[in-house]
Amino acid sequence: MKTYKVGLIGFGFIGKVHAQAYHSIPFGYAKPPVQAQVTAVLRNNPDQDQELLRSLAIPLCTDNEQLFWEQDFDILDVCSPNSSHFSYCWKGIAKKIACYCEKPLTNQIEDARKLAEFSKESKIPTHTAFCYRFRPAIGLAKDILAAGYLGEIHHFQGKFFHSSYLDPNRPISWRLQEAVAGGGALTDLGIHFLDLVRYLLGDCEWLQCQTRTFIKSRPKPANTQLYEEVLVDDWALCTMQLKNGGIGSLEVSRVAGGAGDMTAIEIFGSRGSLKIDFNQPERIQLWDASKNQWIVCGTLPDGIQPVFYDPTIWPAGKRSLGAFMDAHSATILSFLNCLENNTPLTADFETAFRSQQMLHTAYRSAAEGGRKIILQE
């Protein structure tokens, strides 16, 4: 069994999540087909988190880019702030290293296009951390939709509500700085839904969007007497129509008090409907018009063969580390399996670029007063 060596860029919250996902594969799966080990970390403050780094047996943590790139690793995993994704991924592809990148792929749509084209031309495997895709509930929904079980899709809606930025005294950070993050709630959370729309329902024909920033300034971390203007969105509402005629909406917020982590998708068709509550990652609710009843599905209905549904990449039962961590583990294991078996990658940089086109169009619409914009190929 091969153990893939990983070079990890960024070791903040999400970098630690990725590191834990790689190292927990032997604990999360009874017979994992592959394993991985983070062997080098590039970060701004290499002296931090020394106990954690030792516990993970990571031999190198440095802020020296030259030293980092001199290391021998099979996978480059980019968890740095969004504005730096492009340069790191470009260098990784140029060095013929398989690349795994946090979302969004880049801040600028043209940079995302360039990365997608460069990775395709170079034939380098790439993957994006669209971790909602790899929950079993999404695999169930994908197969059910592909089989035509719901009939013609009439409409759909998604909501991603967090309350993590509701406190106005939460200090400014890179996720609240437009030049670094590229956007706010829509970039951070909404990109997942935009990706799922394409994955589950097909390409978008037009889109319109409104955004709001409710907390317009926040204290600087080092001095609570000094404040910095916030230019990214706290809330966004998108309406979109698919090329197949289905119409739907996405509402996303990072200031939804009391919501905790309220994330759900509902899809309504001519012969049935389905609901996905992401706090229940292994099942969906399915309504069959012929029976006029809702049922809870943890497996596919009779007569539908699994094509996209793969419960083997999801940690089972007592091996679970919680839905959030399991989703990242499943996404990373899917990537490793594709590398090991030389099979197509379902969330590569081309896919990330297509989803980012929707994100870019949404922000264009918001900047132009919510104007309806037709997506260009």
Domain coordinates in residue numbering, the chain: 3-131, 134-310+346-367
pLDDT digits (tens, 9 = 90+) for 341-362: 999 999 999 999 999 999 999 9
Average pLDDT taken over every residue of the chain: 96
pLDDT of res. 270: 97
- pLDDT-derived band at 222 (thresholds 50, 70, 90) equals confident
pLDDT of res. 224: 72
Nearest Cα to 334, choosing from 19, 36, 56?
Answer: 36
- Secondary structure of residue 89 in the 3-state scheme: helix
- pLDDT-derived band at 261 (thresholds 50, 70, 90) equals confident
H or E segment to which residue 136 belongs:
helix 136-146
- pLDDT-derived band at 38 (thresholds 50, 70, 90) equals very high
Burial class of residue 296 in the structure, from the number of CB atoms within 10 Å of its CB (0-12 exposed, 13-18 middle, 19+ buried): exposed
The CATH homologous superfamily to which domain 3-131 belongs is: NAD(P)-binding Rossmann-like Domain (3.40.50.720)
CATH architecture of 134-310+346-367: 2-Layer Sandwich (3.30)
Over residues 336-345, mean pLDDT: 96
Please state the φ and ψ torsions of residue 370, each to the nearest 5 degrees. 85, 20
pLDDT of res. 372: 97
Tokens, residue 202: 């097909």
CB 226 within 8 A of CB 283: no
Tell me whether strands 126-128 and 98-101 are parallel, antiparallel or unpaired.
parallel
> What percentage of the chain exceeds 70 in pLDDT?
99
Q: For residue 186, what is the DSSP state?
A: I
Q: What is the Cα–Cα distance from 83 to 85, expressed in whole angstroms?
A: 6
- Secondary structure of residue 284 in the 3-state scheme: strand
H or E segment to which residue 336 belongs:
helix 323-341
Tokens, residue 111: 């940079």
- 236 HSE (CA, 13 A, CB side): 31
- Return the number of other C-beta atoms located less than 10 Å from residue 50's C-beta: 10
Over residues 80-86, mean pLDDT: 98
pLDDT at 154 over 60: yes
Over residues 79-94, mean pLDDT: 98
pLDDT at 201 over 90: yes
Contacts of 367 (CB under 8 A, 6+ apart): none
> What percentage of the chain exceeds 90 in pLDDT?
94
Q: For residue 300, what is the DSSP state?
A: P
- pLDDT-derived band at 47 (thresholds 50, 70, 90) equals very high
Bin 98: left if φ > 0, else alpha if -120 < ψ < 50, else beta: beta
Beta strand spans in 20-72 (E): 35-42, 60-62
- pLDDT-derived band at 377 (thresholds 50, 70, 90) equals low
pLDDT of res. 225: 84
